[in-house]
Amino acid sequence: MELQAQQPTEEGGSIQAAGSSANTPIRPTNNRWTPTPDQLRILQELYYDRALRSPTPEQIQEICLYLQQYGQIEGKNVFFWFQNLKARERQKLREFRNVRVGGSLDLNFGPTSSTSTDRSIDLNFGSRVGYGADGSIMEQRGEYHQEIETLPLFPMHGEDILGNMKTTSEGGSGSRISLELILNSYGDADMA
């Protein structure tokens, strides 16, 4: 997951048998996919012309299938391609906005900044979420679950643990919890 060592794709045999003239990605190294000019053109066509940004799985597969005419390609390549392009375009936009604001622009903000709908550029990092402070993820919605903010004085049974545990960052001190123990905590006593 975190390891960068990419597992060698075992299928390092038939790469691109197509002896096309202009669609050879230069080097059929098994490493990372590089779109052929044709593939790229088609992808861009889909993205820009058709405004396809997040293709559904079905679309991904169809696109992939179609693009295989022009060279080897896998579904994940298509997926990543769209995702990357989208992300990077958006990031550029965001960057631009920040620059614009930081640079000189000063939009007409009324002294009364009550219009919160106005999307002022927050120079924040982008973390719009309020996880950090003390946590409390409250993720699984739809269930009962109260917002803990300080400390629940009763046995919580829900999903508030997520962020609320900031226990000692120090380890190796005696707190030897075994995996078995963890696993055995299925029917953990709810202290009830």
**Residues between 55 and 94 with contacts to a second copy, criterion CB under 8 A:** 56-66, 68-80, 83, 85, 88, 91-92, 94
Does 4 participate in binding DNA (rule CB under 7 A)?
Answer: yes
Q: Considering only residues 86, 139, 151, 153, which one is a binding residue for a second copy as defined by CB under 8 A?
A: 139
Does 175 participate in binding DNA (rule CB under 7 A)?
Answer: no
**Residue 38 tokens, joined:** 């044709």
For DNA, the closer CB: 91 or 146: 91
DSSP 153-189: SS---SS-HHHH----S--SSS----HHHHHHTTT--
Q: 109-136 in b/e burial notation, b at 16+ Cβ within 10 A?
A: eeeeeeeeeeeeeeeeeeeeeeeeeebb
Q: Considering only residues 34, 61, 68, 164, which one is a binding residue for DNA as defined by CB under 7 A?
A: 34
Q: Considering only residues 19, 21, 32, 180, which one is a binding residue for DNA as defined by CB under 7 A?
A: 32
Distance CA 111, CA 123 (A): 19
Near a second copy in 91-120, by CB under 8 A? 91-92, 94-95, 97-99, 101, 109-111, 113-115, 117-119
Near DNA in 69-108, by CB under 7 A? 76-77, 80-81, 83-88, 90-91, 94
Provide φ and ψ at 51, rounded to 5°: 55, 40
Closest CA to 63 of 71, 72, 53, 55: 55
CB 162 within 8 A of CB 137: yes
Does 29 participate in binding DNA (rule CB under 7 A)?
Answer: yes
Q: Considering only residues 136, 145, 148, 152, which one is a binding residue for DNA as defined by CB under 7 A?
A: 136
Q: Considering only residues 29, 48, 53, 131, which one is a binding residue for a second copy as defined by CB under 8 A?
A: 131
Helices (H) and strands (E) in the chain, counts: 5, 0
Q: How far from chain centre, in Å, is Cα 181?
A: 32
Q: Which residues bind DNA (CB under 7 A)?
A: 1-10, 12, 25-27, 29-35, 40, 53-54, 56-57, 76-77, 80-81, 83-88, 90-91, 94, 125-129, 131, 134-141
